[in-house]
């Protein structure tokens, strides 16, 4: 049957619109993504542990990535057309997927070994001052070190140290903690449109140049605090006020004329201790916020509170918050080809605690409460123990 010219044209344009998707398998899980997607972004579509850690890549910052090497993965097959493996591990934030590519992240011993090495390298100069660092509890390097760090160091030389530097009334730069990820440089360059700071010198002498001060009058420079993956750039209005896990994060907004006004308030009781931008599940800022919202609106009356922030259960910040705690997705069975991990003991099936509604007891639970619950069956516990 011949199509009329208009229908034929429509068909051709539909075919052009239909994008060919690339199939990629990461840690035994296959997904389809658009051509031009990086391995890191493809892995983030699967989510959970399958997504490699990223210390320098930042979706919203053009040109970021390729500096820290924490996102290394193994490419076991390059593509359907050329299924040879890539000889070296590749930075997943800077390598695009090909059709039929097979990638290994947590299923590769080489990757885990290399990641351990990268963490050891990052910790050569980074001080282990987490007990007094304001970033503790929300520091990417701290999380990475818990997962991949060694208990000791092989480094015998003097570590490089710098004096703390106040960048105006609101920001402090502590270069000793900097891992030279360049995120703050890109932020100053792309968000404030007025980059006056950058990385000076080479190798061991590299540092974020202190003439960052010259861009301090820009309304959006406070965002460098949020993008810094470690505690090198901190909010002077919050420093040493509280540990982040003792504060309660709530989402709030205001009618701001300079930015979206959508922020996260970090509260202790009725006090707003800190204001930051909201971050997504990958720890990246959703909307850049202005300095006025960040540093000058510290009263509850300045904000319309939307409700408690969804905090990942893996985060130490979820300690003590029982509302909207998100259970992380479980990927192990899929990664292990359908096999479930073997449980030595399922505590839920043998514990009497779960058979008693503790919140309904008028007083504290005693051993009598559980004895009675066992005798009378599930759900008919004696109240008042």
Q: Are 36 and 95 in contact (CB under 8 A)?
A: no
- Which tokens go with 212? 């960052």
- Which residue's CB is nearer to ligand SF4, number 114 or number 232? 232
Residue number with CB closer to ligand SF4 (64 or 291): 64
Q: Judged by CB under 6 A, does residue 178 bind ligand SF4? A: yes
- C-alpha 49/C-alpha 46 separation (Å) is 9
Closer residue to ligand SF4 in complex, CB, 86/199: 199
| Residue 57, binding choice from ligand SF4, ligand FES, none, Cβ under 5 to 8 Å by partner class | ligand FES
Long-range contacts of 190-197 (CB under 8 A, 24+ apart): 190/61, 190/62, 191/220, 191/223, 191/288, 192/218, 192/219, 192/220, 192/221, 194/218
DSSP secondary structure letters along 315-375: SGGGTT--SSEEPPP--HHHHTTTPPPPPS--HHHH-SGGGS-GGG-SS---HHHHHHHHH
Candidate list 208, 250, 259, 356; residue touching ligand SF4; CB under 6 A: 208
Stretch that binds ligand SF4, among 81-89, 159-167, 182-190, 264-272 (CB under 6 A): 182-190
Q: Which residue has the tokens 């100053």?
A: 188
Q: Indicate the pairing of strand 22-26 with strand 101-104.
A: parallel
Beta pairing partners, 96: 38
Strand order through the sheet with 22-26: 29-33, 22-26, 101-104, 72-77, 90-91
Cα gap 265→267, rounded to integer Å: 6
- For residue 69, state whether it binds ligand FES (rule: CB under 6 A): yes
Q: Which of 22, 57, 331, 370 binds ligand FES (CB under 6 A)?
A: 57
Q: Which of 37, 41, 70, 135 binds ligand FES (CB under 6 A)?
A: 70
Interacting stretch for ligand SF4, rule CB under 6 A, among 16-24, 83-91, 223-231, 345-353? 223-231
- Please give the residues from 10 up to 39 whose contact with ligand FES meets the rule CB under 6 A: none
Q: Which is nearer to ligand FES, 65 or 261 (CB)?
A: 65
Determine the interface stretch with ligand FES among 67-75, 136-144, 213-221, 350-358 (rule: CB under 6 A): 67-75
- Residues touching ligand FES, count (CB under 6 A): 13
Q: For the CB of residue 184, give the shortest distance to ligand FES in the complex, in Å.
A: 14
**Which residues in this chain contact ligand FES in the complex, by CB under 6 A?**
54-57, 65-71, 91, 93
Footprint on this chain of ligand SF4 (rule: CB under 6 A)? 178-184, 208, 227-230, 232-233
């Amino acid at each position: 049957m011949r199509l009329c010219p208009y229908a034929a044209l429509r068909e051709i344009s539909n075919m052009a619109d239909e994008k060919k998707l690339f199939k990629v398998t990461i840690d035994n899980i296959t997904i389809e993504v658009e051509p031009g997607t990086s391995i890191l972004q493809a892995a983030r579509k699967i989510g959970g542990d399958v997504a490699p850690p990223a210390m320098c890549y930042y979706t919203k910052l053009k040109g970021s990535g390729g500096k820290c090497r924490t996102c290394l993965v193994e490419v076991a097959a390059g593509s359907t057309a050329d299924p040879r493996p890539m000889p070296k591990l590749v930075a997943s934030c800077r390598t695009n997927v090909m059709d039929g590519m097979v990638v290994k992240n947590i299923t590769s011993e080489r990757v885990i070994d290399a990641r351990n090495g990268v963490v050891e390298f990052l910790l050569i100069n980074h001080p282990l001052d987490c007990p007094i660092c304001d970033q503790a509890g929300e520091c990417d390097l701290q999380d990475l070190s818990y997962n991949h760090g060694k208990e000791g160091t092989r480094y015998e030389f003097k570590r490089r140290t710098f004096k703390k530097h106040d960048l105006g009334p609101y920001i402090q730069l502590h270069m000793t903690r900097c891992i030279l990820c360049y995120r703050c440089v890109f932020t100053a360059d792309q968000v404030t449109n007025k980059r006056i700071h950058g990385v000076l010198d080479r190798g061991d002498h590299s540092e974020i140049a202190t003439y960052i001060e010259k861009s301090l009058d820009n309304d959006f420079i406070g965002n460098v605090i949020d993008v810094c993956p470690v505690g090198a750039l901190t909010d002077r209005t919050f420093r040493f006020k509280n540990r982040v896990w003792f504060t309660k994060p709530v989402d709030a907004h205001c009618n701001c004329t300079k930015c979206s006004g959508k922020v996260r308030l970090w509260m202790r009781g009725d006090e707003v201790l800190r204001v930051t931008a909201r971050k997504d599940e990958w720890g990246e800022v959703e909307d850049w916020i202005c300095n006025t919202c960040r540093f000058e609106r510290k009263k509850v009356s300045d904000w319309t509170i939307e409700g408690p922030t969804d905090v990942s259960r893996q985060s130490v910040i979820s300690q003590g918050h029982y509302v909207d705690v998100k259970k992380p997705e479980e990927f192990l069975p899929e990664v292990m080809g359908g096999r479930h991990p073997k449980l030595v003991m399922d505590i839920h099936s043998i514990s009497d605690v779960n058979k008693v509604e503790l919140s309904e007891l008028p007083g504290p639970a005693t051993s009598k409460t559980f004895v009675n619950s066992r005798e009378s069956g599930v759900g008919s516990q004696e109240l008042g123990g």
